[in-house]
Amino acid sequence: MRRTAESRFWRRPFDADSLPRVRGSVRIHEDRCKGCAYCVEYCPRGVLVRSERFNLKGYHPPDVMESLECAACGLCELICPEFAIRVEQLEPAEVDRAS
């Protein structure tokens, strides 16, 4: 896992290796985005980054940089004020295929 500033303070459960990995797929509706970057700032896994592209409204939508790190927590979907993000939890077979 990529070490973000926050992750240094996280505890790792003793049985982490025996648990199935939960992963998500993030889809961004770019033209709804208003570039607030809440999703970038608050993603606990550092999955999203601000892009240099402009959307139709003239804002910078996020890019998904670390797609395999998404834990499908749904925080970005919940926090986005423009309902511009959808997160779907991947099936275990899809996680194995992607890794």
Residues forming the site for ligand SF4 (CB under 6 A): 24, 26, 28, 33-39, 43-45, 47-48, 61-62, 70-76, 80-82, 84-85, 87
User: Minimum distance between the CB of residue 68 and ligand SF4, rounded to whole angstroms?
Assistant: 11
Q: How far is CA 66 from the centre of its chain?
A: 8
User: Minimum distance between the CB of residue 26 and ligand SF4, rounded to whole angstroms?
Assistant: 5
11 Cβ partners below 8 Å, 6+ apart?
Answer: none
User: Minimum distance between the CB of residue 94 and ligand SF4, rounded to whole angstroms?
Assistant: 15
DSSP state of 57: T
Classify strands 62-64 and 48-50 as parallel, antiparallel or unpaired.
antiparallel
